[in-house]
Structure 1
Amino acid sequence: MSKPEITAVSDADEIERHPCPRCLVEPGSPCRSRSGTVAGTYHTGRFTKVPRLAKLLRAPTPTDRGPGRLWRPGTPPPAPIPADTPATDIRVAYARCSHLTQELQSQMDALAAHGIPREKIFAEKVSTRVRVRPKFEAALEACREIKAHAPHCRVILTVYEMKRLGRDSAELTALADHLTAHGIALEMLAGPLTGIYDPSGTGRVLFAFFAAMAETERENIREATLEGLNAAARKGNHGGRPPVITDDMLHTVLRRRANGESVEGIRPDLIIPTGKRKGQHPSLASIYRALAEHNKRQAYPKAVEQAHADFAMLQAST
């Protein structure tokens, strides 16, 4: 065993002499997460009780305590893997796009070309603003189950690029910590952090930096979209489906009804100019709805004028 490992175990022994004020474990046990697994690091309120460790930012849990696995009292530490036995990598992939009109096939092809079987690729079309992502949760659960049944293997969650996981820096950082605590590596095939993410040292700083960049990119996209919508609204384009009954069609209906024709007789001469029903005749319900809205618009000024007249009469009488 190398000298750094001896120091780490010695630190862990000293830390575990004290109870943890956060997760309430008794002396002699490692810290635990809310899910009941061994935490990847000791809680701050515990390792700061050791004077020579009080100024550390974090104290990692040694591998012989089984970080990321379900804690059981009295469970002996696993036997160490021989140095000449390479660890097997098991990959689980996640693919995502935001809109139903976008395609996932390019991500699926890239993940499959990386050697990941199709049955281990979890894909969905959902926005990052949606907090509940069923396929993403299923991918995390698959990683945890594989790690629990094969603790000596390296489990890797693979995505095409960082923004497939999300665009919120706090959420991305919390996800990285969650994966680290469960002994799961994170791999990205494209983007600024291509390769397997290293949660320690410089890798942690870079991940936080690019997570913040992803959040900034999302806000820029949102602001540009709102500016485009406002510019279109100033030009009279408010989006949405085009009206079935246009002003010209309504004018025709009003003119011909004034000449005594019925709506049923007018309908065959009306043609919808745009939209999915382009070239078809509007329904009677659409015509009557347009007439009702027209009558409402015509009646409103008269009602306001009548209300002002009634108010003037009331003041005159008093």
Structure 2
Amino acid sequence: MLIGYARVSTDDQHLDLQRDALSQAGCERIFEDKIIGAQAEREGLARLIGSLRPGDTVVIWRLDRLGRSLKNLLQLVERLDGLQVGIRSLQENIDTTSSGGRLVFHLFGALAEFERNLVRERTQAGLSAARKRGRQGGRPALLSPTKKALALKLHQERNHTIEEICNMMGISKSTLYNYLNKAGQDATGMA
């Protein structure tokens, strides 16, 4: 049996295009998910997997509709393979029910993994080069060194509460505590 799965990931996206393509491909049932933000649970996918029987084929519009990442996609394909269920992607023209389709799928997966590793290596090289030039990553400091010293001095004098110091400086409690921890580490490192 051909069973469709459609997914969109934002409010402004619609499932119509995927539904139409899956219906034209001959899907008898279509499961759907509309995932907003970093929501991890996909109820439609869970219902789909629960309904599968050996010999079924899950039809998707594109590979990225099934898996949210390459790792997730490979895990799902392996899980479906264990259930004796194939995958057919309409846009990439991949069908894992054939040996050639399985080969193409694994080649795509290997190429995507290779590309991800190249991106990671380039990113690390760029960060390393920036550090050598004195560029530090991360968010800029909220307080100038003078204001930071003043906040630390106000805390040491014990005349103001943490909340009062934060209000005067325009920072959160966690930021002040980070400054205090850093100052404590610097003091013990110098001793």
* TMscore range, shorter length: 0.5 to 0.7
Alignment partners' CA distance in 2, 1:199 and 1:288: 58
TM-score of the superposed pair, with normalisation by structure 2? 0.58
* Alignment partner of 1:121 out of 1, 19, 32: 32
Tell me the SS of whatever aligns to 1:202: helix
* Alignment partner of 1:167 out of 58, 70, 75: 70
Bigger relative contact order, structure 1 or 2 (CA pairs below 8 A, ≥6 apart): 2
Tell me the SS of whatever aligns to 1:250: helix
CA contact (8 A) 1:94 1:121 kept: yes
Deviation at 1:247, TM superposition (A): 1.9
- What are the superposed Cα offsets for residues 193-221 of structure 1, whole Å, 9 maximum, x if unpaired? 33x61633533432332232222233233
Counterpart in 2 of 1:212?
A: 110
| Counterpart amino acid of residue 226 in structure 1 | Q
Give 1:55-74 correspondences, 5 Å limit: none
- Describe the shift of the 1:106–1:199 C-alpha distance in structure 2 as closer, same or farther (beyond 3 A): same
- Describe the shift of the 1:123–1:140 C-alpha distance in structure 2 as closer, same or farther (beyond 3 A): farther
- Describe the shift of the 1:215–1:138 C-alpha distance in structure 2 as closer, same or farther (beyond 3 A): farther
| Counterpart amino acid of residue 188 in structure 1 | S
CA contact (8 A) 2:59 2:87 kept: yes
- Describe the shift of the 1:123–1:293 C-alpha distance in structure 2 as closer, same or farther (beyond 3 A): same
- What are the superposed Cα offsets for residues 204-241 of structure 1, whole Å, 9 maximum, x if unpaired? 432332232222233233333433444454443232x5
Higher helix share: 2
Q: Give 1 or 2 for the bigger CA radius of gyration.
A: 1
1:91 aligns with 2:91: no
- Describe the shift of the 1:214–1:178 C-alpha distance in structure 2 as closer, same or farther (beyond 3 A): farther
Give 1:1-318 correspondences, 5 Å limit: 90-95=2-7, 103=10, 106=13, 108-115=15-22, 120-122=31-33, 124=35, 136-142=45-51, 144=52, 147=53, 155-161=57-63, 164-165=66-67, 167=70, 171=75, 174=78, 177-178=81-82, 181-182=84-85, 185-190=86-91, 193-194=92-93, 197=95, 199-234=97-132, 235-239=134-138, 241-253=139-151, 262-263=159-160, 270=169, 281-283=170-172, 286-287=175-176, 290-291=179-180, 293-301=182-190, 303=191
Deviation at 1:267, TM superposition (A): 6.0
Unaligned runs of 5+ in 1: 1-88, 98-102, 271-280, 304-318
| Counterpart amino acid of residue 120 in structure 1 | F
CA RMSD of aligned residues (A): 4.8
Alignment partners' CA distance in 2, 1:93 and 1:213: 24
Deviation at 1:93, TM superposition (A): 0.6
- Describe the shift of the 1:222–1:133 C-alpha distance in structure 2 as closer, same or farther (beyond 3 A): farther
CA contact (8 A) 1:110 1:160 kept: no
Deviation at 1:268, TM superposition (A): 5.8
Alignment partners' CA distance in 2, 1:219 and 1:294: 38
Corresponding pairs, count: 181
Tell me the SS of whatever aligns to 2:33: strand
Alignment partners' CA distance in 1, 2:63 and 2:4: 14
Aligned identity (percent) is: 19
Alignment partners' CA distance in 2, 1:296 and 1:198: 56
- Describe the shift of the 1:172–1:266 C-alpha distance in structure 2 as closer, same or farther (beyond 3 A): closer
Alignment partners' CA distance in 1, 2:5 and 2:20: 12
